[in-house]
Structure 1
């Protein structure tokens, strides 16, 4: 059995040098030559070993390369390495903002709402009551401001469109699943090219927010359930699935996926996830699957 060690840097700060690769080969005790996936931005090394050794090897490699701006993961080099289902969180994952925080900013409540968001994403408070508390503060806000927010204030996370397009081109199903709201996920899913999206629904009356959330609330359990439902519908093995997110409400989904990735996540989430990306952009998820830059669909 074999493992593959993947080293990923950010395109703005290439760091996979010959010295880094030599150090990695020494730590991993592998005779295999590195396979360059993208210049000095991503590389992989084949490592003899069983899946049970992956976590320990990842820790050793991180320790040896501490201080380098490089993400590291040791994964099974098996037939399910390229995934057939992608589930992705939206806020602070596929986009760089938190939608509710930006919506609250239109009425001068961003600081108050952002504080609640931060606590919920760290896992300090339960997601569902935190969601209801934030939405209640937005009562009477015009739904018409949302289109302008999406157009003028929300930015796509670098690499996200390439991630979705490349996986679709290679036959994967893609789903944006969010504890946010369909008024945002619909347009964002279209911009990024997702097949489908699942999120909460804001209560509306006469074009204004009622301050309520329609049932059922999409939270931690529902994200995991969405993954299981799609996996079952598509007839996939657990190992053929990929999930990415940054907050505590993503943890069950990340744990259920064959490859669960914490992307620039809160500390507790990063510590709990099997794989974390802190330096690379979202194309790192393609490199984790063995895609080279030449395979990307831009």
Structure 2
């Protein structure tokens, strides 16, 4: 059995009776919808094997192309609710790119942001692009980080609820980022992740040295983190969930049982089997079959 999930932005409820009727007609299912949250999220069971899920997703997207909805057809099995969750930080769990904000303190935000965008789109290699940008940050006082976190960084809506709800259901959570421990430590604590993994910036006498320690947490390291945690916890491939937006997240998303591209760069959205473009981060809970009444935080 499969399940079709429909998700709207909480600020723009869009799942009407007409939408649900069209969904049932397109997917040829006699099952009645299960409402997860008003007109924000719903699901309906669909007969079929996992091998046709992607084709049905595309069919539903085509039929509802004019609606501001995120759509996915997934296996409705015992592994739907995941037990390990890994998330990217920049432009995923927070709404900014930390390295761009750091560069902004030197008047270099636009220059660095342009490099970041190309790296996240997969147009240039992540590791050398990171070293190039970090070199420009030399001599920034470390205390600037605390000010940026307090005044300039914002958590993506739904993120804390996502993590707290999964933790309440005994899911291990890890923030894994191509960013920096100076940021992932405080951000992980704010949101409630069990742990964080990211790059370490060189610091001497209270200032950034313009260097980053090896190994760099990029595409390969993110995937390796998922595999390592999966092994430590004794979990299978299907028990894992990952979310990200950039090219350096693709391997991690591909390795996860459920990999979600969240408001992602075009190449990432195109490659991912599941994408969220309208909903907030609670969409990842709806995809797992959680109803809003079960949310924590």
Instruction: Give the match for residue 215 of structure 2.
Output: 216
**Cα-Cα RMSD:** 0.4
Instruction: Give the match for residue 119 of structure 2.
Output: 120
Instruction: Give the match for residue 146 of structure 2.
Output: 147
Residue 261 of structure 2 is aligned to residue 262 of structure 1 = yes
Instruction: Give the match for residue 180 of structure 1.
Output: 179
Instruction: Give the match for residue 92 of structure 1.
Output: 91
Separation in 2 of the partners of 1:138 and 1:127? 17
Residue 113 of structure 2 is aligned to residue 110 of structure 1 = no
SS of equivalent to 1:184:
helix
Separation in 1 of the partners of 2:35 and 2:8? 12
Separation in 1 of the partners of 2:112 and 2:43? 42
**TM-score w.r.t. structure 2 length?**
1.00
The CA deviation string for residues 49-103 of structure 1, in whole angstroms up to 9 with x for no partner, is 0001001000000000002100000000011000000000000000000000001
Instruction: Give the match for residue 58 of structure 2.
Output: 59
The CA deviation string for residues 103-123 of structure 1, in whole angstroms up to 9 with x for no partner, is 100110000000000000000
Separation in 1 of the partners of 2:100 and 2:204? 21
1:164-175 alignment runs, 5 A limit: 164-175=163-174
Instruction: Give the match for residue 80 of structure 1.
Output: 79
**TM-score w.r.t. structure 1 length?**
0.99
Instruction: Give the match for residue 199 of structure 2.
Output: 200
Superposition deviation, residue 37 in structure 1? 0.3
Separation in 2 of the partners of 1:148 and 1:141? 12
Structure 1 segments unaligned to the other structure (5+ residues)? none
Separation in 2 of the partners of 1:255 and 1:75? 15
Separation in 2 of the partners of 1:141 and 1:20? 52
Separation in 1 of the partners of 2:89 and 2:186? 11
Instruction: Give the match for residue 26 of structure 2.
Output: 27
Separation in 2 of the partners of 1:63 and 1:221? 34
Structure 2 segments unaligned to the other structure (5+ residues)? none
- Aligned residue pairs, count: 297
Q: Where in structure 1 do 4 or more consecutive aligned residues deviate above 4 Å?
A: none
Residue 282 of structure 2 is aligned to residue 283 of structure 1 = yes
